């Protein structure tokens, strides 16, 4: 039998051939600011309660977990508020799995998914994995998305599913409720608002959750990976009409949320106030990054998230490599002249800004003031 030596030798599905898997660099460095994690550690008292919950759950791991993860859905509904109940809530192993299940239920061969590029790179990968056609819609200047532009792209492409990232990753751009409502009214398909970073928005910013009543095709996804500092636990969830959660039951794997995951998430949610106490500090570091990056001569974009995309970088790969040599890992997300940095602790932010200042800044040949403000 002939040995298989590479992906090219395997009978992959046609739409997967030539693709590369998702993967931000996983490097062990003193300052990792590349994947938008909450870099603050979990408070010690909360960690103790999570450990106690895991210790209790481990006693019954010889049995399958609650397939309906009822206690977790109830806890998530309480956390979100807005009159939601457990019937409105779904959860899975990270919001990526939630979105994958949405595509399994509502996408697939002959169906299409519209996103507005540049946006979260996993959207197109999830589309490929479910054999859903990916459509990259256009944005306005400075990566904004107005109601008119959203409706125009929906009318032009007639998608079955629309993903709206609010605030947008990797640009940090906030998204108005007016754009979301206009997009919903312009389609008969499923509209998903990905609010993975919603907790970092300015205080008082309304969530798309407020649009759910009367909109049975609107889904709002969230995660515990960011604001909750719970990335390693892999817990994502969404809120929607109960009929949507029934649809997702058709495609979920049996017992897809382990007893340990459910126990850890329930314990963390019981301490939501403490878990979210660091969000104000992160907002402060984000705003500091915007101010200081501009002072250093870069062009930071407005951000409602826990990261900042900044332009005016003469050679992104060179700057990325130079920072890495100093033990600081940020993200080159492939937008020419740009890099992205996560808002970490005050100390991490200082180390990044000081290193960047030491590196200096070399203008791109022929760069103009308008180009720097892109």
- In three state form, how does the secondary structure of the chain look? CCCCCCHHHCCCCHHHCCCCCCCCCCCCCCEECCCCCCCCCCCHHHHHHHHHHHHHHHCCCCCCCCCCCHHHHHHHHHHHCCCCCHHHEEEECCHHHHHHHHHHHHCCCCCEEEEECCCCCHHHHHHHHCCCEEEEECCCHHHCCCHHHHHHHHHHHCCCEEEEECCCCCCCCCCCHHHHHHHHHCCCCEEEEECCCHHHCCCCCCCHHHHCCCCCCEEEEEECCCCCCCHHHCCEEEECCHHHHHHHHCCCCCCCCCHHHHHHHHHHHCCHHHHCCCHHHHHHHHHHHHHHHHHCCCEECCCCCCEEEEECCCCHHHHHHHHHHCCEECECCCCCCCEEEECCCHHHHHHHHHHHHHHCCCCCCCCCHHHHCC
Q: Name the CATH architecture for the domain at 44-272.
A: 3-Layer(aba) Sandwich (3.40)
Q: How far is the C-alpha of 128 from the C-alpha of 134, rounded, in Å?
A: 7
- Please, which pLDDT band fits residue 2 given cuts at 50, 70 and 90? low
Tell the residue number behind the tokens 């993967």, with chain if given.
23
In the chain, domain spans: 25-42+278-359, 44-272
- 251 near 101, Cβ under 8 Å? yes
* Mean pLDDT for the stretch of residues 63-85: 97
44-272 shares the fold of 25-42+278-359: no
Q: For 234, left (φ over 0), alpha (ψ -120 to 50), or beta?
A: left
The whole-chain average pLDDT of the chain stands at 92
pLDDT digits (tens, 9 = 90+) for 306-352: 999 999 999 999 999 999 999 999 999 999 999 999 999 999 999 99
pLDDT digits (tens, 9 = 90+) for 165-191: 999 999 999 999 999 999 999 999 999
Q: Flag whether pLDDT at 364 surpasses 80.
A: no
Q: How far is the C-alpha of 118 from the C-alpha of 133, rounded, in Å?
A: 17
Angle between helix axes 95-106 and 242-249 (nearest 10 degrees) is 90
* Residue 96 CA: distances (Å) to CA of 67, 211, 218, 293, 314: 19, 22, 17, 31, 33
Q: Flag whether pLDDT at 362 surpasses 80.
A: no
* Mean pLDDT for the stretch of residues 29-53: 93
pLDDT digits (tens, 9 = 90+) for 263-305: 999 999 999 998 888 999 999 999 999 999 999 999 999 999 9
Which percentage of the chain shows pLDDT scores above 90?
A: 83
Which percentage of the chain shows pLDDT scores above 70?
A: 94
CATH of 25-42+278-359, one of 3.90.1150.10, 3.40.190.10, 3.90.78.10, 1.10.645.10: 3.90.1150.10
Q: Flag whether pLDDT at 122 surpasses 60.
A: yes
Residue 363's pLDDT is 42
- Please, which pLDDT band fits residue 256 given cuts at 50, 70 and 90? very high
Which is more confident, 363 or 21?
21
Angle at 279 between CA 145 and CA 319, to 5 degrees: 65
Q: How far is the C-alpha of 239 from the C-alpha of 79, rounded, in Å?
A: 11
Q: For 177, left (φ over 0), alpha (ψ -120 to 50), or beta?
A: alpha
Looking at the chain, how many residues does it have?
Answer: 374
Residue 371's pLDDT is 34
* Mean pLDDT for the stretch of residues 63-81: 97
């Amino acid at each position: 039998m002939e040995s298989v030596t590479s992906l090219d030798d395997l009978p992959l599905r046609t739409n997967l051939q030539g693709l590369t898997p998702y993967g931000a660099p996983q490097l062990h460095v003193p300052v990792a600011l590349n994947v938008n994690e909450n870099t603050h550690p979990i408070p010690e008292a909360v960690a103790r309660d999570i450990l106690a919950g895991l210790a209790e759950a481990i006693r019954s791991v010889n049995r399958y977990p609650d397939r309906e993860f009822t206690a977790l859905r109830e806890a998530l509904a309480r956390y979100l508020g807005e009159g939601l109940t457990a019937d409105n809530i779904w959860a899975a192993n990270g919001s990526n799995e939630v979105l994958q299940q949405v595509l399994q239920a509502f996408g697939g061969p002959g169906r299409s998914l519209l996103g507005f590029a540049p946006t979260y790179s996993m959207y197109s990968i999830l589309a490929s994995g479910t054999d859903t056609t990916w459509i990259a819609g256009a944005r306005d200047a400075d990566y904004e998305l107005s109601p008119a532009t959203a409706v125009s792209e929906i009318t032009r492409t007639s998608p079955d599913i629309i993903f709206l990232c609010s605030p947008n990753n990797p640009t940090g751009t906030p998204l108005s409720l007016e754009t979301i409502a206009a997009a919903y009214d312009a389609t008969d398909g499923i509209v998903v608002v990905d609010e993975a970073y919603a907790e970092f928005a300015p205080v008082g910013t309304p969530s798309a959750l407020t649009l759910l009543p009367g909109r049975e095709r609107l889904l709002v996804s969230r995660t515990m990976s960011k604001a909750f500092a719970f990335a390693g636990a892999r817990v994502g969830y969404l809120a929607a009409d109960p009929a949507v959660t029934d649809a997702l039951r058709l495609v979920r794997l049996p017992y897809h949320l382990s007893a340990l995951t459910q126990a850890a998430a329930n314990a963390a949610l019981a301490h939501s106030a403490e878990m979210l106490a660091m969000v104000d500090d992160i907002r402060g570091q984000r705003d500091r990054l915007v101010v200081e990056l501009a002072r250093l001569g870069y062009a930071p974009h407005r951000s409602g998230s826990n990261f900042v995309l900044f332009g005016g970088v003469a050679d992104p790969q060179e700057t990325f490599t130079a920072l890495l040599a100093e033990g600081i890992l940020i993200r080159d997300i492939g937008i020419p002249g740009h890099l992205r940095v996560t808002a970490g602790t005050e100390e991490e932010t200082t180390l990044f800004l000081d290193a960047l200042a030491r590196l200096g800044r070399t203008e791109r040949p022929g760069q103009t003031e308008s180009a720097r403000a892109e």
